[in-house]
Amino acid sequence: MAIIDPFNRTIDYIRVSVTDRCNYRCDYCMPEQGYHPDGTHKEYLSYEEIARIVGAFVELGVSKVRLTGGEPLVRKQLTNLTGMLNEFEGLKDLSLSTNAHHLDKHAQELFDTGVRRVNVSMDSLQPKKFERITRGGDLAKVLAGIDKAIEVGMTPVKVNMVVMKGNNDDEIESMTDWAIEKGIELRFIETMPIGASGIAIMDQHYKAEDILQRVSNHVGARLIESESKAAAGPARHYQIEGTDAKIGIISAVSQHFCESCNRVRLTARGVLALCLGQEDSVNLRDPIRAGISDDELKAMILKAIEKKPERHFFNENVHNIQFREMVSLGG
């Protein structure tokens, strides 16, 4: 079985936010005071409720799940959830997005409960600059988390760098050299106007093509465009010849990739968000708590997918859109 949206795209991937809280305060993602909508922890889906929703998606044909936040590792006993999800026969790919601050402590147990891939957000290799961008983050902890993920066998380990003009764009080349040294995939991401935090820094927007040119100038002819198993995802992929390092370029604003979108997002509070750059969404939490059956849940999901828009409008409305903060959507 497969989930097909109105534009004939197969939806086989769901990103699941387990919390909208985070121990960092990256300025493009959330306000300095944090993101705390009205409500208590009861507003969050329980792990059992998340597993039930994910199970319905898997039965409908979804095979890839990524756990996100906020920062997923600030929610206690996350491996209770990963263990439950790992039991689903149709789930082929269970991964995690994290700032890696706590990853060194949890990488082995995550791996043992089915998490095979990890994406780490890291926007600078300079400790003071990293602390400033994250408003208090500890680069040494992040680097230790990345090393631990590599050590336990997670592959690929991807590091995401949001490039911001006049802020960290001077590190494009040094980050590339570091990726070569580590033999990992480094993904450069354009800033996106999501929420007040994202819109506020769009004057720092750095086009993907300019990033790619910088990398190309730095490594020369060794930069080879490559086909990737992750081709359905948003990145354009490149191999640095003679190394294990890969480069990904994500151009959400300057060159959208909506025609290949294969994903939806489940927020920590049970809202199914159908597009990162549109407000279309469906509440799944309340019907579940009201007692709907599994068949009714699957019917709700299929009905929701009918609302998935053809594309976002970041580049047309970059100064006008006021969507939810990135941290509430799971990125």
* pLDDT per residue as tens digits for the range 164-180: 999 999 999 999 999 99
What distance in Å separates the CA atoms of residue 288 and residue 295, rounded to the nearest whole number?
11
Query: Percent of the chain at pLDDT above 70?
Result: 84
Across the range 208-216, mean pLDDT stands at: 96
With 0-12 / 13-18 / 19 or more C-beta atoms within 10 angstroms meaning exposed / middle / buried, residue 45 is: buried
Q: Give the integer Cα–Cα distance in Å for 211 and 223.
A: 13
> How many CB atoms neighbour CB 157 within 10 A?
22
Enumerate residues 6+ apart whose C-beta is below 8 A from 153: 111
Condensed to tens digits (0 to 9), the pLDDT of residues 62-75 reads 999 999 999 999 99
- Helix 47-60 to helix 294-305 angle (10° resolution) is 70
Q: Report pLDDT digits (tens) over 2-24.
A: 999 999 999 999 999 999 899 99
> Could you tell me the end-to-end alpha-carbon distance of the chain, in angstroms, rounded to an integer?
27
Domains located in the chain, CATH noted: 3-329 (3.20.20.70)
pTM for the predicted model, two decimal places: 0.90
